Amino acid sequence: MEELYTLEKEVGRGSYGVVFEGHIAKTGQRVAVKRLSCKNAECIELYLQELWAMRATAQNHANIIVLHSCLLQTGRRSLKPLKKGKLPLHLVESVLKGTVVGTLPHGQETGSRSNSGRRAESESRLQDRTNTLPSNASTPQKPPNRPRKRSSWREDEQPLSYSALWLVMEYCDGGDLNHYLLSRPPDAQRNHDVVQQLSSAVAFLHHLGIIHRDLKPDNVLVSIKPNGPVFKVADFGLSKMSEGMLDGDMTMKHFSSTCGSDFYMAPEVWGGLPYSAQADIFSLGVMFWAVLERITFLEEGTTQEQLGAYVCKGRRLMPLGEALWENADLQLCIPIKSKRATPLPPPPGPATCALLLHMLASDPDWRPPADQLESDIRAALREDSC
């Protein structure tokens, strides 16, 4: 690793990986390096989905985190760069078989057949196990406890033993959105920049057929630039890529895996219903409301303040999606705060409030699609500033 990148310090740690601040050895450019240990099939699947989605964005949008390269660790000190558009067959087979596939001492794979035979079978099985549903699919009564995802991968490289994937990404010196906004005095223009930039990012992702499925302040990173902060969508581990928009409309493509973070999940996801890209719009609505009004909460068992809107049910803070799933006729009140202290930003104007209500509609068909949302945000902010 040190021949390619120098790791300076750990800057983040989650359930699936560790993130380091580092530098490219030849140029000294600062980067973020995420180490993802390939110890079980579920984790490998998340890593491949993140890699595939980040490759698809191809550094084409200022508000999407940039992936510089990906390396496969094949030994204690051995790294192999992955070619663009390629994935090791071992990783794909591990996802399909539900167990990590290794290499025997003589290079023969456990339970292996010829590479061409395995590849043809892998492609067939992956197509059968995609996680899309037709619009008339049966409705499950309860959401599963854990997200399960299936995607299609192809690779024609020889099998390798491995222990980890290393994703080398641009380094964002402003931290995540929670840290950046809550460590500074409220600023209305900065808040407007957040909603405009993120609506543009999600419109770009949906245009590519990528549903993020876990939009929240923790997954938005901030890069400090001379002209102001740039807000970037990151962490595509739960994302889902569609092979193509049905009739050009992402709202018609449905998924079934219940995944995301409680306080930002849409009602239909809470209910275990088939859902579409419009679930991302609901998550954005929760974030935008919280950002514009500086609404925060403490999740049970934590001490870290987070941005997010919610419904009070007695002493319990109930996620908006859960509350709307239980009562689709629930009337949300925007702005939520009737008593406002002077340090807080001004409340959203009437046009912005109306747009937030559309984004947070219990019926996903009432929410604006991402390409329309981007222009609606600009129009609402412009109207409220007059």
Q: Of 356, 360, 372, whose CA–CA distance to 266 is shortest?
A: 360
Token pair of 380 as six digits: 């609402």
The span from the CA of 65 to the CA of 58, in Å, is 10
Give φ, ψ of 230 to 5 degrees: -115, 125
The span from the CA of 197 to the CA of 127, in Å, is 35
User: Exposure of 90 by Cβ count < 10 A (0-12 exposed, 13-18 middle, 19+ buried)?
Assistant: buried
Token pair of 10 as six digits: 């750990």
Catalytic residues: 214
What residue spans of 129-233 are helical by DSSP H? 177-182, 188-207
Angle, helix 350-359 to helix 278-293, in steps of 10 degrees: 140
Q: Of 240, 243, 323, whose CA–CA distance to 274 is shortest?
A: 240
Token pair of 342 as six digits: 């002077």
Concatenated DSSP letters of 260-295? S-GGG--HHHHTT--B-THHHHHHHHHHHHHHHHT-
